[in-house]
Structure 1
């Protein structure tokens, strides 16, 4: 497999950061800004429709893609901004803007760098004590700066979240189906289903352990991709700023042989604003 020095360096850096966060004393994590405990914040961050402002930076490294053993580094900027519509209803908006650096994917010795397409989701989330749920629209926005990094299509479809959460335990799924409705007629239509199934256990220190499965079904290309990701995380502080850090392998379980990657690594640094 072909590796570039850049990706090896990034991988080592993410691994070093993960060990740094794992070794932070629990006493430094037990109470956070705004009076909420570290475990309470960890539980809120496990809830995709919690009324909490956060700005996750999700770093993804993937190796062994396609016939040329390509590699891809993606940083997803993923702000989550809630709006209170009434005492019993919130609107949770989630944005994903990917910045991609990929090599040897579209051909031997090729390189693309730039923005990929953005995804915007809005969940109407009624307040609930037992089963947490939300629904709303999902949008695909053609923000890609390179032909090979995007679809050149605008898409729309439904999104839904269902989960159960108790103190220290979160289990549920989030899903969307998006169809292209406008854009470059010469490009292939977009028709894709995505779901993420998650189980997370948090601790008083703000540490968390979990497992996530991501399933992407491309109906247009008749391909299915399934990843499995055990993960470890922690809520802590960088100065006065509350953050959550998590790291996980990306283990490909199902995928077409011509595009299924060999393996990957994900590290997430989320800036949290619990007092908002």
Structure 2
């Protein structure tokens, strides 16, 4: 994981000096900032959670997006495939809301629970707003019980955003309930709210805040809310002929479950595949 950190930081540093077309950057920037655009992309997000009572966690989340246009609608498939190196008893995470047993010790490494969401979104904005709605399901795919909820969960997700000239603002909401799985594990009943805002700068740079807030209705009253505050910076550029979106962010959890981390630092490398 330390090697991954070094490679990510080096890639970000090398790319700072590379230039690309401002028009292409602008078009890609709008598509990248829209989670339900018609742009195929494969983000790799490296997250490093620090300050939890039972140890730090490292997460690589691979989140491919595959849109298909059918008539006047975009059908956007979004996956969350998390890979963890984490201590036992990690507090509930957005992809794995049932995690959390502080009595467990030792570290676990492997695949977590995979989430899939299918958004139905009009091709054309409605009164300036882009929106999407669709089903979401989380599969019990964790390779270690400490890395997943032990449940199959389903629900709905919705997103809405606006893109004025200066950037993008909007939000995504999702709620999941468990419907199958290990009866001895805690039921999943979790709300996720993700407000986001991007402010565009020159030469493909932008500022971003993308806070993933979760509320676990099944947890004890003092351990339900995870509320991060923070943001970061990003850049649209190219590696050779490959368009990429790079992000570096940091968030502090102002409200958190007792075993959750205090800080999260993340680096994202998003491969972009524009049409044409």
Shorter-chain TM-score: which interval? 0.7 to 0.9
Quote the offset at 1:103 in angstroms.
3.4
The within-5 A match list for 1:173-192 is: 173-192=171-190
Give distance in 1, aligned partners of 2:11 and 2:210. Answer: 21
> Which residue in the other structure is 2:256 paired with?
255
Equivalent position to 1:24, from 11, 17, 21 = 17
Give distance in 2, aligned partners of 1:243 and 1:13. Answer: 15
Give distance in 2, aligned partners of 1:108 and 1:94. Answer: 32
The within-5 A match list for 1:1-276 is: 7=2, 11=5, 13-21=7-15, 23-25=16-18, 28-30=19-21, 37-66=24-53, 68=54, 70-86=55-71, 88-103=72-87, 105=89, 110-126=106-122, 127-128=124-125, 130-221=128-219, 222=221, 223-256=224-257, 258-275=258-275
3-state DSSP of counterpart to 1:162: strand
Quote the offset at 1:260 in angstroms.
3.1
3-state DSSP of counterpart to 2:158: strand
Change (3 A) 1:71 1:10: farther
Deviations 1:69-121 (A, max 9, x none): x11111011000001121x2111110000000113655686110000001111
3-state DSSP of counterpart to 1:37: helix
Unaligned runs of 5+ in 2: 90-101
Quote the offset at 1:184 in angstroms.
1.1
3-state DSSP of counterpart to 1:163: strand
Give distance in 2, aligned partners of 1:260 and 1:254. Answer: 9
3-state DSSP of counterpart to 1:24: coil
Quote the offset at 1:16 in angstroms.
4.2
Question: Does structure 2 conserve the Cα–Cα contact (< 8 Å) formed by 1:214 and 1:228?
Answer: no
Question: Does structure 2 conserve the Cα–Cα contact (< 8 Å) formed by 1:91 and 1:122?
Answer: yes
Give distance in 2, aligned partners of 1:167 and 1:144. Answer: 42
Instruction: State the TM-score, normalizing by the size of structure 2.
Output: 0.87
Unaligned runs of 5+ in 1: 1-5
Question: Does structure 2 conserve the Cα–Cα contact (< 8 Å) formed by 1:43 and 1:168?
Answer: no
Give distance in 2, aligned partners of 1:264 and 1:95. Answer: 21
> Which residue in the other structure is 2:95 paired with?
none
